[in-house]
Amino acid sequence: MTIDFKGRVAIVTGAGGGLGREHALALAKRGAKVVVNDLGGARDGSGGSSAAALAVVEEITKAGGEAIANGASVTDFVAVQAMVKQAMDTWGRVDILINNAGILRDKSFAKMELDDFKLVMDVHLMGAVNCCKAVWPIMTEQKYGRIVMTTSSSGLYGNFGQSNYSAAKLALVGLMQTLSLEGAKNDIRVNSLAPTAATRMTESLFPEAMLQALQPSDVVPAMLVLAAENAPTRTILCAGAGSFEAAHITMTQGAWIGRGDDAPERLAAQLADIKNRDGEIVPESGTAQGHHELTRAMSKMA
C-alpha cells in the first residue's frame, strides 16, 4: 500500500521550520497541494516574518509541487478564515489540517506570569480551535477531512517547567476526542501526534548527541499515516528517532465503594486495587464512565 495525497489540499500551520516544514515537504512530495502557514515569530511567539514560509514554498515548487505561503497568526480567527479562503480560492477544497503551530514560554509554575500561561494556551489550544472551526464546514460539506493535532509527552505525562505547555497539549487531546465523534458521520477523522524531535522548541532540552538522533523527519511517517485516506481516528501516536508508540487514556475496572460516612476511608483503603490496571479499558466516549458506574451501582443495590 502506498500512501499518497494526489488531489488533496493540506494546510500546515507553523510550517516555516522544524516539524512543520518536514510535514509540508512530505505532503507535497506525495502529491498534496500545501498551504505553508507560518507567522515567522521567535520561539516565544514574538515578532513575525514571511521569509520562512516563502522559503518552504520555494522548496516545494522547485521540486515540482504546488504550495502557497500564508502568514496568519493562528490566534487571529479572522486571519485564519482568510487563510482557508485563500486555499479555497486557489484549489477549491481543504482536505487536511495539520495543527502544528506553537510557542514556548517555560518557567516553573511558581515563577510563571499568567500572561505567559494564557499566551501559550492561546497559540496551541485556541490556535487549533480556530483552524478546526474554519475548515469544519468545508470538510462537512465534502464529507471528508483529516485533522492532526500536535500534542506532546509533556501534556500526556507532564514535564517540569511546562505547566502552560502541558495544559495546552493535553487539552488538544480532549478536543480530538470530541471532534472525532462529531466528525465521524462525515468521514472527518481527527488524531493526535506526540513528537520527539530536535527543533528550536526542544534544542535546550537535550544534549547534542541526542539532538542528532532526533531528526524532525523521523516523525513524519506518523503524520502521514494519521492524515491519510485510510487514517484511524481518535488515535494518539508518539514518534521519535525512528520509534513509534500509541498512547491511550484508559479507565481501570475500579471498585464499588457505595455511600456512608466512612466512604472516604474505605476508598483510601482500596485505592491500590482501584488503581490496578488489570482489565483497564479505553472508553469509546465520555459516557462510558457513567455507564460503567451506574451498571455496577445498580447491580450492588439490587
Cβ-contact 18, 216 below 8 angstroms: yes
Residue 253 buriedness (CB in 10 A; 0-12 / 13-18 / 19+): middle
- For 50-188, where are the alpha helices, taking DSSP H only? 51-62, 77-91, 114-121, 127-142, 153-157, 163-183
Distance CA 45, CA 39 (A): 9
Taking CA atoms, 32 is separated from 29, 91, 191, 207, in Å, by 7, 11, 19, 35
- The radius of gyration computed from the CA coordinates of the chain, to the nearest angstrom, equals 21
> In one letter, which amino acid is 33?
K
Active site residue ranges: 165
Tracing cell 471532534 back to the chain, one arrives at 179
> In one letter, which amino acid is 10?
A
Cβ-contact 190, 233 below 8 angstroms: yes
